[in-house]
Structure 1
Amino acid sequence: MWLDNASDVDILFYEPYARIIADIAKNKEYNPLTIGVFGLWGAGKSTLLKLIDKKLENQKGVICVTINAWMFESYDDAKTAIMEALLQELKEEVPAEVKKKFGKLIKRVNWFKLGTKAVSTLAPVVASVATGNPLPMLLNVTGSAEEIGNTVKNAADSIQSLKDEYWKDEDDSNDESTINNIRKFREEFSDALKNDNIENIVVMVDDLDRCRPERIIEILEVIKLFLAVDRTTFIIAADENVIKYSIREKYPPMNGFDVELDKEYIEKIIQLPIYIPELSAKDIQNYLLLLVAQSYLEQESFSCLIAKIFEEKIIISGDVITLEEINKLINELKLSWRNGDKSDFNEMAKIIDEIREIVASTLKGNPRQAKRFLNTFITKSKLAKIYYGDEIDISILAKLLVLQKLDNDLFIQLNEWNKEFDTENKKFKQIRTESQEGNMDSQNPWNTAQMKKWIECKPVELEKYRLEKYFYLTRENLKSSSIDESGFSKNTKEILERIGRSKAGQMVAIIKDMKKLNAEEIADTFKIIIPKIEKGEIKFFIIRDLFLNFDMYKEKIVEAIGKSTVTIKPGGIAALRTMYNSDAGSMNTVLEIMVKKGTLTDEQITEIKEQRKS
């Protein structure tokens, strides 16, 4: 199994990024500096931070600490919490002669923290004293006059004790305003770092993009206002899109001002943005095969393999690493297996090697998704062994898991076809034959580049196998899943938008343009339309035109109409009449269902059918 943690081994080959960022971070001429390491969730940002940390180990005068921002998500005052945690970490690392200064800084943070708590708790008392109006206090303090008096006294004592405890080393001229306290903290923090044994403090902030928007802003602001002083470098790993969203939530756009606040805010906080690119399909293919090797080789041996691949520049050769190349390197380096035998590795690697090209195209360059796919495959393989022993061909299991990843609707359809298996799965055989001969209907959802590649994955003649046991193992996927529209093409999104605001006279042009889409784009369009028909959210003149022009989707359209619980309005009768006249065979059953459900009356169905007779 592959855990969703930062990796100790650079399987993603981020070492060049780590080297550059580490070199910048340890250069005192560049600080104070805040570096943004931007990448999508699951892109490997935590792994990159770990590599940077290794590069900075044992660097003279460089102290490196890592803070997980998500740990502070539940704190009422995340600003003081993260400041205290950072100072405590640094106190452990700094030279002995500096520790006292850090202890004083922690006391100042405690003043901020306790002061904030006192203000929120005693605000009514303060308001009453300041204004001479007892109402705020009386509304918040219950009990007798004596109890109220005690509350006021306790409030005053609490505030004085805070001052005595945390400001006793200061003179009486202290200005305790927020601005002055920030200034003093920055001065004291900067002064504490002015030591011959401290060249630079490098603070790496991870998982910031897992926090709520308000918490993200708080943490960014505490870095900018309190902590970014000479001899400090902050490295913030996050998804830039999440940061921008948080900024827009906190600071909405101003009417009449053409200012990109989210962009300008980030530019103010982050001086050096570094973007981790999405892995290419080739990179993901390599990653999948290397993950398999990692699970079978001894850890030290696997590290040697990765180092050799990097040294030989195989990863940037432009070609996908083959299984033969991996085995050749393993033999040349005389690497060690975890169980002493490479036969299990080759069996698993051959299966992944067969499907990795098509899997890579579905993972959107995301290493975390690659791990999850392999973990699902391994888990299902073990379940298959427990349930069925040696009856399961794991290459078939792998192929079906890929289909589910590619298109859950087609996965469900294959299961339905399998229920009609006698000596073979005739409907799938027809699809496979048409695909190989190149005469499949252009609108058929199986007629996409990805699906054609899937059909050719081994075992090719899938129609010869009963698949009940395989679908049992994956039965949680035999229901409609949520649809991710982010991967839809621009053309698909435009067609959906036009359909959403269309009027009857506009459908001819929309249908004409929709027919220009490729099979995958048409399939994506119907993935959105069909559920909307079921919910009664699509007007019947649209349903009619789609029914008349897309034969491959007639069955799904009819099924969706039958599932709807929305009563048919008079305007829908004319559309149903046209559909019935075009294909009575497809419409008869659904019209009867609609009458039984009460969405259509007997009189209406008679009207629809009599028109055909006339």
Structure 2
Amino acid sequence: MTEPNLALWSDDPARVDLLSFDAVAKTVADALLDEALDPVALGLSGSWGSGKTTVLGLVAEELEQRGTPSSKVLIIQTDPWRYDPATGAKESLIAEVLGALADEVDRSETKTDKAKKLLGRLVKRIDWAKAIKLAATSSLTLQIPSFDKLVELVKPKAGDEDSVRGLDAFRDEFAELMQSDDLKHVQAVVVLVDDLDRCLPATVVESLEAMRLFLAVPKMSFVIAADEERVADAIRTRFATTRRSDESDLDQHDPATLYLHKIVQTTIPLPALSHFDTQAYLLLLQLQATAAAEHLSALIDRCVQIRRDGGTVDDIGAIDGLAMEDELAFASRLTPLLYEKLSGNPRYIKRFLNDLRVRQSVASRRGITLDPSVVAKLMTLEALMKPEFKLLLGWFAKGEMRNQLDRLEDEAGRPAPTDTAPDADPPTNSDDTDNGDSTARPRRGGRRTLEPPTAATTSGQFTQAMVRWAKLVPPLRGLDLSPYLTLAAGFAGVTLIDESLPERLRDIAANLLSDSKRESASVTDGELEKLGAGDTADLLRHIGRTLRDQPSKQKAGVNAIFRILHCQPEADSDARDALLMLPPSEITIATPMQFKSDEPAKIWSVLTTWKEKVREGAVKRAIESKIKQRGGS
């Protein structure tokens, strides 16, 4: 198996619009440049990972395209989450805006002194505010005047018209700057505010106050990308109010919401991905790194048209030069669960794909040769359905996995194939009914025909979620999942213990099944001879289940069965049943060679059973040769 390429998807804002977010971006741009809304503050609301930052980038691109040298849109991107808390969010936001305006004034062809003087006064005001903020936080250690006295320094002195202390009169001077000749060519200044919902309550409120109280003058616009409810929660915390509006209260009268709506005129919600969006996104993400730019662009355009027409993924059709059957099958396979479990969140989808690639890479380097689609199906259970995955690990620990998966696939309406040579397990002892080990389980090999389709049963043994997961392709019946599940259990910190096996037998079982000769030899014949009949039966049943679920352990497992049998000859029936739990399709050539001519008749009957079940080939010839050595037919 070729080791998968570990190319992960970045969590940075997307540079290519894969989800038709341009429709939202253009709507935002229209509102920002509407003279009737000047000034305006818009909200762009969505949960974390919904694509808000990507949309802000698209808004910036759209505004730049609409601007001209004589009617420029000046774009300022800011992130209050990165502000220095010692300086203050209000002062930091104002300083960023003034810095951008100062650069624009320097580039202006008019170059009057008025704008520069206004900027100088405004900068001094904000510097004074920063100084007060810093002084207040350090007054205890620097032995400077008390905070009350520092506040007095901010107030203008009586009769001092040139005083620039504090933020008094800031808004009037700022409005005058915006209308100055040096900024006449600027039709709008748009401040794109990101990650406000990640900030502490004080930062949230101060940032909003800066926009509303100091910067909301003609030609100024704001887009606040944040989860609106998280921002409202921060306001509630800041002002010590816990009242939320009732869902039935359409007026939303709680103080925090009213406060926010006083600043933000309207909020544009960022829609979660639809079923088609999720499917198309999975397809486009896979092809983004490998498809030629022109092919990817054509596919994106096709998806955009399908969204407008209300079509499905079947309408994508073929694109000349682009092979995407495998990627489309993968997307179709995973979309139902990802759409539901990840709530249409682009970031969560990318994270799932990254986790999947990491797991496939680690599995490959551990020599686990499962098909990537099988790993994807198991990862879906592991990442999105944790209780069900824990149940699967429990089956695996108890050696019940293959039987349970067979039953699960039956209940999912996916019956086992029927071989020309039946491959059912033989009946076990009448007293061995635990976990249905006597259930017939058709195996791989030979010519197969599917049984007529039947509706899924409703035994109630499995949850609906588990049955739904089982319906995902590919089917897992007959596959050796043990190496992957062992790895997954290690990642999850889960200890695989068969709790049905008495604790006094667990060390003996682990050592007997070890690939280490030293560990297997640590179990002495004396210990095995002292086992009671019940313990011997439990131990053999555990080894048999291990052979069934972990065929890679068959050399150690078969050897362990023979060791126990030689120490406990009367356990020949249990030993026979344990050997018959090994799936015939998994038998290696070495296994029949472990049978000795003096084994009891019940043990030799195992070879006769296997002979009827295995395909023609080297293994069957080895079984037939062993039978002839004993004089059988």
TM-score calculated relative to the size of structure 1:
0.63
The answer for the alignment partner of 2:134 in structure 1 is 117
The answer for the alignment partner of 1:252 in structure 2 is 240
Selected match of 1:434 from 411, 415, 420 = 411
Q: CA deviation at 1:429?
A: 1.3
Selected match of 1:212 from 179, 196, 200 = 200
Q: CA deviation at 1:129?
A: 11
CA contact (8 A) 1:2 1:375 kept: yes
CA contact (8 A) 1:426 1:463 kept: no
Selected match of 1:92 from 87, 96, 103 = 103
CA contact (8 A) 2:188 2:220 kept: yes
The answer for the alignment partner of 1:197 in structure 2 is 185
Which residue identity lines up with residue 356 of structure 1 in the other structure? T
Q: Secondary structure at the match of 1:35?
A: strand
Q: Structure 1 CA distance, aligned partners of 2:483 and 2:181?
A: 65
Q: 1:2 to 1:121 in 2, by over 3 A?
A: closer
Q: CA deviation at 1:32?
A: 0.6
Q: Secondary structure at the match of 1:474?
A: helix
Q: Structure 2 CA distance, aligned partners of 1:414 and 1:125?
A: 66
Which residue identity lines up with residue 407 of structure 1 in the other structure? M
Cα-to-partner distance string for 1:115-166 (whole Å, 9 max, x where unaligned): 3334555697645997xxxxxxxxxxxxxxxxxxxxxxxx99xx99x99xxx
Q: Structure 2 CA distance, aligned partners of 1:470 and 1:316?
A: 42
1:447 matches 2:463: yes
Q: Secondary structure at the match of 2:190?
A: strand
CA contact (8 A) 1:25 1:233 kept: yes
Q: CA deviation at 1:301?
A: 3.7
Q: CA deviation at 1:75?
A: 3.9
What does residue range 27-66 of structure 1 map to in structure 2 within 5 Å? 27-58=34-65, 59-60=67-68, 61=71, 62-66=73-77
Q: Structure 1 CA distance, aligned partners of 2:146 and 2:336?
A: 68
Q: 1:44 to 1:304 in 2, by over 3 A?
A: same
Q: 1:413 to 1:291 in 2, by over 3 A?
A: same
Cα-to-partner distance string for 1:470-509 (whole Å, 9 max, x where unaligned): 12443356458xxxxxxxxxxxxxxxxxxxxxxxxxxxxx
Q: 1:381 to 1:317 in 2, by over 3 A?
A: farther
Q: CA deviation at 1:359?
A: 2.3
The answer for the alignment partner of 2:313 in structure 1 is 321
What does residue range 130-209 of structure 1 map to in structure 2 within 5 Å? 172-173=160-161, 180-192=168-180, 195-209=183-197
The answer for the alignment partner of 1:305 in structure 2 is 299
The answer for the alignment partner of 1:292 in structure 2 is 286
The answer for the alignment partner of 2:451 in structure 1 is none
The answer for the alignment partner of 2:15 in structure 1 is 8
Q: CA deviation at 1:57?
A: 0.9
Q: CA deviation at 1:44?
A: 0.7
Q: CA deviation at 1:400?
A: 0.4
The answer for the alignment partner of 2:594 in structure 1 is none
Q: Secondary structure at the match of 2:91?
A: helix
Selected match of 1:268 from 262, 266, 285 = 262
TM-score calculated relative to the size of structure 2:
0.61
Q: Secondary structure at the match of 1:180?
A: coil
Which residue identity lines up with residue 93 of structure 2 in the other structure? I
Q: CA deviation at 1:464?
A: 0.9
Cα-to-partner distance string for 1:543-580 (whole Å, 9 max, x where unaligned): xxxxxxxxxxxxxxxxxxxxxxxxxxxxxxxxxxxxxx
Q: 1:320 to 1:451 in 2, by over 3 A?
A: farther
CA contact (8 A) 1:412 1:479 kept: no
Q: CA deviation at 1:289?
A: 1.5
Q: Secondary structure at the match of 1:233?
A: strand
The answer for the alignment partner of 1:25 in structure 2 is 32
The number of equivalent residue pairs is 428
CA contact (8 A) 1:354 1:458 kept: yes
Q: 1:103 to 1:369 in 2, by over 3 A?
A: same
Q: Structure 2 CA distance, aligned partners of 1:23 and 1:428?
A: 56
Q: Structure 2 CA distance, aligned partners of 1:103 and 1:192?
A: 14
CA contact (8 A) 1:292 1:348 kept: yes
The answer for the alignment partner of 1:222 in structure 2 is 210
What does residue range 380-419 of structure 1 map to in structure 2 within 5 Å? 380-388=359-367, 391-419=369-397
CA contact (8 A) 1:33 1:234 kept: yes
Q: Structure 2 CA distance, aligned partners of 1:238 and 1:71?
A: 15
Which residue identity lines up with residue 94 of structure 2 in the other structure? M
Cα-to-partner distance string for 1:433-475 (whole Å, 9 max, x where unaligned): 2342533344x4x331x43332111222x13112122124433
Q: Structure 2 CA distance, aligned partners of 1:471 and 1:455?
A: 16
Q: Structure 2 CA distance, aligned partners of 1:6 and 1:115?
A: 36
Cα-to-partner distance string for 1:221-245 (whole Å, 9 max, x where unaligned): 1111111111111011000111111
Q: 1:119 to 1:209 in 2, by over 3 A?
A: closer
Q: Structure 2 CA distance, aligned partners of 1:68 and 1:303?
A: 31
Q: Structure 1 CA distance, aligned partners of 2:147 and 2:265?
A: 46
Q: CA deviation at 1:214?
A: 1.6
Which residue identity lines up with residue 204 of structure 1 in the other structure? L
Q: Structure 2 CA distance, aligned partners of 1:171 and 1:299?
A: 67
The answer for the alignment partner of 1:468 in structure 2 is 482
The answer for the alignment partner of 2:125 in structure 1 is 108
Q: Secondary structure at the match of 1:236?
A: strand
Q: 1:202 to 1:125 in 2, by over 3 A?
A: closer
Runs of 5+ in structure 2 lacking a partner?
A: 1-7, 246-251, 414-454, 495-633
Q: 1:379 to 1:171 in 2, by over 3 A?
A: farther
Q: CA deviation at 1:282?
A: 2.9
The answer for the alignment partner of 1:146 in structure 2 is none
Which residue identity lines up with residue 373 of structure 2 in the other structure? S
CA contact (8 A) 1:207 1:237 kept: yes
The answer for the alignment partner of 1:377 in structure 2 is 356
Mean Cα deviation higher: 284-293 or 107-116: 107-116
* Greater fraction helix: 1
1:362 matches 2:369: no
